[in-house]
């Protein structure tokens, strides 16, 4: 359960970082997609790393929990931003 929250927070921080990147950069084109992809790749590398650490194990279930947390956070951000722009009548910013 902790994986879901930690990787959800990682995804949110990654998204916040990417929306502040220059518009000409490829990462700023789709911050939702890039945030999810980078965090999922980090989750894979974390499980591979755990395989080589004594008394730790690499499990697909842990990685799936990571992915669930990432996707839930991306959906939460998307939902929040869509409601915010409707409520205040603002135009979505880059990536929102």
53 within domain boundaries:
yes
96 within domain boundaries:
no
- Closest to 35 (Cα-Cα) out of 58, 5, 19, 11: 11
Helix (H) or strand (E) holding 56: none
Range(s) of the domain holding residue 52: 2-88
The angle, 0 to 180 degrees and rounded to 10, between the axes of the packed helices 2-18 and 31-51 is 140
**Would you say the C-alpha torsion 35, 38, 44, 50 has a positive or negative sign?**
negative
95 within domain boundaries:
no
**Whole-prediction pTM value?**
0.80
Indicate the number of domains in the chain.
Answer: 1
93 within domain boundaries:
no
Dump pLDDT digits (tens) for 33-87: 999 999 999 999 999 999 999 999 999 999 999 999 999 999 999 998 877 666 5
């Amino acid at each position: 359960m902790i994986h879901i929250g930690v990787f959800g927070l990682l995804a949110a921080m990654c998204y916040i970082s990417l929306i502040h990147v220059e518009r000409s950069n490829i990462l700023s084109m789709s911050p939702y997609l890039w945030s999810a992809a980078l965090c999922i790749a980090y989750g894979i590398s974390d499980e591979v790393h755990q395989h080589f650490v004594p008394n730790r194990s690499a499990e697909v279930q842990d990685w799936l929990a990571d992915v669930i947390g990432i996707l839930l956070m991306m959906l939460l951000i998307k939902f929040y931003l869509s409601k915010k722009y409707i409520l205040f009548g603002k135009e979505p910013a880059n990536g929102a």
